[in-house]
Structure 1
Amino acid sequence: MQATGLTLLGLVAIAYALVASRLERWSVGGPLVMTAAGLVLGPAGLAVLQLPASSEPVKLATEVTLAMLLFADASTIGLRRLTHHAGLPLRLLAVGLPLTIVLGTVVAHGMLDGSTWAAAALVATILAPTDAALSLPVVSNPKVPPIVRTTLNVESGLNDGIATPVVTVLIAVVASEESATAGWLGDAGKAIAVAVAVAAVVGAGGALLALRARRDRWTTPLSDELAVLLLALVSYSGAVALGGNGFVSSFVAGLVFGAVTRHRVSRAVEYTETTGLFMSYAVWALFGAALAGPLLEDGWHASALAYALVSLTVIRMVPVAIALLGARTRVTTTLFIGWFGPRGLASVVFLILAAHELHIGAQGATGVLAETVVWTILLSVVLHGLTAAPLSAWFGRRSGTEHTTERGVAGADGQAAATAPVRRRRLGLSHRDDGRA
């Protein structure tokens, strides 16, 4: 039965690959296609793809996927350049993200029956990271002002890594509430400290070895790609083996690797990013089969659906508006950035991790919390995916050729964003080529 499901899923993926460009004209991307495939093939449909969300294979596949993407994203971020030329993304990360978590926590505690403050905060933090992969027509449309594309790209590239340690701590808090476990704060702090230590060793050590090997011409372009991919995996598995947080380790290791190599192996990093992207399609199919399908089949709570709608609008847009105060952005720009904050892969992985650690079931308060997250992601896949192309075209026409006046991001940064190549998962801050033929 499972082999049949995997075969059919593979055929759907092949069909999507053959008509991807045509589908993108209709604002239909890979996450939407694979989620729909999971719904059809899963228990709510043909029942040929059945994997519980909390099962070990699902957990491992989703964690490895996010680890690779975290490493790749972080390793391509130029921290010095980001500090000097990305005022709006920094506003969203330093002000908008914390406000989103706080507002989401307050609303979840009031709307979701039986939720404690810790559980409400966990839901809000799981849903805080954004994923520009669901709105690729926005970040790849040259008619959209470069600063807007850069803002959404950098925000989505960093907020999942920032939210990871918060999610880890909150899972420990919720677990302690349910089982009266003592010392959760110390355990969470230790996990993060171990992760940072492993990341420093793997990121810096791997970078120095990679540079030395390239300088002495011991490597090939293919072996460069293999080395970076394995560094991403080792940073994750090494931290987990020592009791640390693998996601934090992958993200920090990517930052260290990018800083030490000065992005001279950017082509090799793209391979890791592409591999993670392909694996993310499988995660979206699992999301449809193991999470969205049972939700639609078993019934749902009105409060969960209501919170999902509020999360995609008010809880996202109000913090964005506050974060952009004083930046001299137009109202339409603020609304556009506020709307395109889709919840994607990171939220799926965080939910699966919480389901595994907290043994979340379909009933009770934890079941409602999980249902809330699933509804938010599912609605985001559909609404943000279908509106990305038409709204970006409208916004591009409205903006015209006017120069943006946002403080801290004009001039060189706008030009760099305009000429930056489109990346496979999201537009990032570009760096010079590594020189390999």
Structure 2
Amino acid sequence: MPSADPGDWAAPAAAGPVDAIVTLPGSKSLTNRYLVLAALADDASRLRLPLRSRDTLLMTQALRDLGIDIVDAADDARDWIVTPGPLRGPAQIGCGLAGTVMRFVPPVAALADGPVTFDGDAQARIRPMRPVLDALRAVGASVDDGARGSLPFVIGGQGHVPGGSVTIDASASSQFVSGLLLAGSRYDDGLTVTHVGTPLPSEPHVAMTVETIRDAGGIVDDSESDTWRVEPGPLSGLDVVVEPDLSNAAPFLAAALVTGGSVRIPGWPHHTSQAGDALRDILDIMGAEVRLERGGLTVSGTGTINGLDIDLHDASELTPVVAALAAFADGPSIIRGVAHIRGHETDRITALSQELQRAGVGVHERADGLRITPGRLTPSPWRTYADHRMVMAGAVIALSAAGTRIEDPGTVAKTLPTFIALWDAMLAGSGR
């Protein structure tokens, strides 16, 4: 084993069953959608308990750079007050590695009164952007990307966008559709987006987008499959409480199965558009006892973890933790339908294959997923590829593979800056 980097995290093993209540901060997906809609509204909004992470802070800075006022509420600094104003250019937007920033903000920037330049981390420059850039051109916006179809690029804001109808292939990311829809109400003729190609990945995220637009008073017709029509018109200010991020619950709930313990997540919604709600069914299939009650969701391990054959196309962000949990199962597992996660923060399919094999797990990499055969887990360096979900998956593996060291754990700040503190607190109840 190579010598450890002092910045690596010696991820803890569990000494016994966990018994914990884990309170999670707000959803990144909802926070960033609400921020965009609040920026385009006619009056001020209050976002209660938003997530404060790298991705959401990049979004707030991007909107501030375009002229939007976002401050902590005077009576509760946990909340944000968003006051819209004229969208201005020139501006330079740093996207980091945030897909929501690089795909949601350009359609907004097209409404600014000057050029807006976008760039991001080195890995962000290889993430696909062509569908949304070509769509913006098709509805009358000015785009200069040097024919790359990726970062960096310049949106030549002209103060308005004609809008109309556009057909795109969003099979690489549902964010292409969501980004266009979020700004569509402010285009002169509204916006109609039609998806063509293989089935839209993570479709619940588009349903979330439609729901949030309606929350702001926007009119959306999604009655026709793969077509969404946003009518032109005003958006109202929001006063919303941001739900906990259900996808970020995955590693904590997985720990209940691995250790034969119990974890409760307070505030789990009984109705939600978050794709992470699929965890309830997934963990039930894998052998957990799952109870959704008024006080939240409780998952308890039963001593058995079942292998499974599952299509995670609509909840692909759960793939890394489900794959890690499959390493503890009583038989092989297959994860299908997630070819699009090769274009996420990293190629998640290859990354998981490499790291699980390094930890002693049998893995066959498929074009659209993984076949996982449990093996004898051994401690090893766990690379994260600047991907927050890989940190979470590695922490699950380390529960049984004492001595696992996870590189670059700080990358988890993308969506959950307090992850390591929450993880340590959870394991403190397992006899450590």
TM-score, normalising length: structure 1: 0.26
Return the structure number with greater strand share: 2
**Higher relative contact order (Cα pairs below 8 Å, separated by 6+ residues):** 1
The TM-score with structure 2 as length reference comes to 0.26
